[in-house]
Amino acid sequence: MTDRHPEHKTLERYLEGILPDAEGRALQRHLLVCQGCEERLIALLPASAHHPPLSPLDGGHPRQTLLHSLRRSFPEVATRHRSLSEERLAAPGLWRELEKHPQERRRSMIWEDARFQSWGLFELLVERARQATPEDPRRAEDILRLALDVTEQLGPERHGPGARETAKARVWAWLGNASRVLGDFRQAEAAFQTAELYLSRSWLDPLDEALLLELKAPLFRAQHRFEEAMELIEGAIAIYREVNEPHLHGRALLVKGLALQYKGDLKAAADCFRTSLFLLDGIREPRLIIHGQHNLIGCLHESGRNAEAAALIPDARKMYEQLGARSYLLRLLWIEGKVLASQGLLSEAVEALEEVRETFIEDGIAFDAALVSLDLATLYLRQDRPAETRLLAAEILPVFQSREIYQEALASLIVFQKAAEMEQLTLGLIEEIASYLKEARNNPHLRFRGEEGPGA
């Protein structure tokens, strides 16, 4: 569902029968769920349109026929609107009932109990999965599988023509995104193809099309298919502009900025992040503001603009604390440590990075624990502290071995450990391993070629 309400001119064009097909379908869908816009449309009807319906013999003018159809449909629209409102109010309680059971029991409840077969619950499950994906994509997948079960129960009688196909398109798009986060690119591609198939049979809402483009672009980015990623995200941005959705436009700019950052165009990436912060609605999705600010600070640091990055950190920290964004606070401290190092404040930098590393290890976040360990190793080398470097390398391997981590990634850290033990660690090798791990996080088949290290 979109929160965007049609402009006055759009409603007039709809009544005149000159609105393009895709926009007309999107508007019809919006009228099913928005009583306010339904009333605005009724108010635009000429006075005669509020009288009892015309008979087929009262004239065959296309506009009169359209108005007659609209008058007949308004009671149905109002009924669906009330039903949807009730479903949304009931959805949180239904989720609380489901959440306390194992996954298989949840699925049985959805199939066996009509209370769980609602559009309101479907929307809530998709939103919960969207929020869970960055931190726990496996949990997001489980929730989306439940949403798929719900979509099987969504019929045209209760939710309008194309409702089931529209719902399935959205679920499969988010499943593709979750698979991408998990590094399963093949499964992600299959999910996006399924989403495209259902989208072609759906309401054809342009916002659904834009969402699919927006979610698919990061997959191409992770596969280093930068030109294709940019083409997709530009398509999403064009749609958001056309339908006047500045918040969604800003969200898509975050995706574009990350693609540019991965590609190495740091100046353009920083510009994208800055623009996104002007467009995003902080009340609607406050964590997107955090995400955009964090990306901007990181991008400025990567491009060597450390003074600009440092100037933004204090305000960012206050915002993260207000919103309780613990993971972002930790990653902000990580960036701050690297900024301090660039300013020659090595002791302060080491203190910050050691705190970040310790927390990552406690939380079992293996890849990030390894990456911050490599940052620390760089500082230890600059301070001529070989004993701390050896201990650092020895401690990170058990963290990796206790997780389901790719063998190639583990091999790169064995090279790191051996080099530290033999006091042959160089800044070049550390940089090579760090660069490899950043790519290997989303590519389990990427091989490590650490020819500079002992035993490579």
pLDDT, position 81 = 66
Helix extents (H) in 185-325: 185-200, 206-222, 226-242, 246-263, 266-279, 286-302, 306-323
Cβ atoms of 299 and 335 within 8 Å: the answer is no
Least confident among 274-288, 353-367, 381-395, 406-420? 406-420
Instruction: Examine the pLDDT at 55 and tell me if it is beyond 70.
Output: no
Task: Calculate what percentage of the chain has a pLDDT beyond 90.
Answer: 48
pLDDT, position 127 = 94
Instruction: Examine the pLDDT at 319 and tell me if it is beyond 80.
Output: yes
Query: Greater confidence, 334 or 412?
Result: 334
Measured distance CA(229)–CA(213) in Å, rounded? 9
Go through the chain and tell me how many residues it has.
456
Averaged confidence pLDDT in the chain: 83
- Work out the pLDDT band at 78, boundaries 50, 70, 90: low
Average pLDDT over residues 184-201: 94
Domain boundaries in the chain? 1-90, 344-456
Q: What is the pLDDT of residues 231-243, one digit of tens each?
A: 999 999 999 998 8
Instruction: Examine the pLDDT at 376 and tell me if it is beyond 80.
Output: yes
pLDDT, position 396 = 76
Q: Which residues contact 329 (CB under 8 A, 6 or more apart)?
A: 317, 320, 321
Query: Greater confidence, 160 or 58?
Result: 160
